Amino acid sequence: MNNFSLDDFDYYLPQERIAQYPLPDRDQSNLLVFYPSKIIEHHKFFELPNLLPKGSLLLRNSSKVIPARFFLQKQSGGKVEILLLEPTYPSSDPQLALSSREKCSWKVLMRGKNLKTGLQLVLPNYSERNFDMICTINEKNEDHYIVDFEWANENLQFSEILEYLGKIPLPPYIHRDDEELDKERYQTIYGDQLGSVASHTAGLHFSNNVINELTKNNIDFADITLHIGLGTFKPIQSSNIFSHKMHEEKFSVSLTTLNKIYQFLSNRKEHQIFVAVGTTSVRTLESIFWLAQKIYNNKENVIAGNFDISQYIWKETIASLTPIQSLEILLEKMHLNKLEKIEGKTRLYITPDYKINFFEAIITNFHQPKSTLLLLIYSFVGNEWKRIYKEALEKNYRFLSYGDASLLFNINK
């Protein structure tokens, strides 16, 4: 399996096929459906409720994009662009950092001239603001900065300041400035956990009507949270895909969600399937699977409830549990230690030789050439991904974040 090359995951994507705007209605996106029989069908996303077996379960990501991009200026007047990546103080949890008052610190990307440690940045002359903020460069690293943000109004949370200052951080392949519509359309309608700097794009197609129709068909939802970072856009550089360094993303899975998944997998009828909404849902639950294996092998302490999942945990860990058994282990340990959630950071790298443990299908957009996301798609459909993408291009599908969707059944299950 290690004879894969990066060129095996390349294809020609014309610039005009990269969607620059969302469609007027979320659920009017095209939906390519790939079946285990290798048949391809073409639908609209609003037809999804009739394409899934009744009584199935969908796992979705509840993370929400923050307005992470804004501009400050040096005392000399030079403009500096800031892009928040993740918080470092008062907590690495974005929810806690965003609710902080008077001070917080973040890992950021910065664009400007002569950016040195100790440099102070201030707000441009915005009108109608009721706060002043000073930002100090605390650390300068090879690929990021650590910046301290301090503001005078103790009644304001950092999230409120971002609502005033911030812009939606659109992906680099969307060649335009953000607009008012992006505040709504670069978010899912169900996301409620602020912390991502890129969108959970598979979820962008879900409308209230689609969700209501799914519910009528007794199709349920379970929610995890994985805060998506800019690393999701980072292409693989090395021809040896296995030497790629995977990006890190923060996740959280509640006791309620794990119990819902366990009950579904333990009691489902033969035709009912478990569907991942997006690659982030796959990575999160697969990370949880390997965490359970480590706990079972007495290689991980569960008491803290906060974990780091390495990119090759699946090569470093003896696997002896089924997916249901892995959930039993986690639920037992969580009850024993009175944990309401398991959280941590994952670098899990799903390469072509990885076998997906949980899902029969995935709902996902069409991804960039030579991306880690395309490698994950291989784990569902194998080399059929080339035929799927070729047909999508021939049928004028729209690609990437604001593009169309696919429903891919796992032919390796």
Say which DSSP state 12 is in.
-
pLDDT confidence bin for 378, thresholds 50/70/90: very high
List of domains in the chain: 6-65+187-409 (3.40.1780.10), 69-165 (no CATH)
Six-digit token pair at 72?
């400050």
Task: Name the residue among 228, 207, 220, 308 with its Cα closest to residue 265.
Answer: 220
Q: Which of 76-90, 131-145, 227-241, 272-286 has the largest mean confidence? A: 272-286
Three-state DSSP at 154 gives coil
Residue 337: pLDDT above 70?
A: yes
108-127: pLDDT as tens digits: 999 888 899 999 988 876 54
Judge contact between 261 and 29, C-beta under 8 A.
no
Q: Higher confidence at residue 1 or residue 359?
A: 359
DSSP string, 151-196: ES-TT-BHHHHHHHH-B----TTS-S---HHHHHHTS-SS--EEEE
**Alpha-carbon span 235 to 38, nearest angstrom:** 28
Neighbouring residues of 142: CB distance < 8 A, sequence distance ≥ 6? none
Predicted pLDDT at 266 = 96
CA end-to-end distance (rounded Å), the chain: 18
Neighbouring residues of 50: CB distance < 8 A, sequence distance ≥ 6? 217
Dihedral sign, Cα of residue 44, residue 48, residue 53, residue 59: positive
Residue 63: pLDDT above 90?
A: yes
Say which DSSP state 30 is in.
E
**Alpha-carbon span 345 to 94, nearest angstrom:** 13
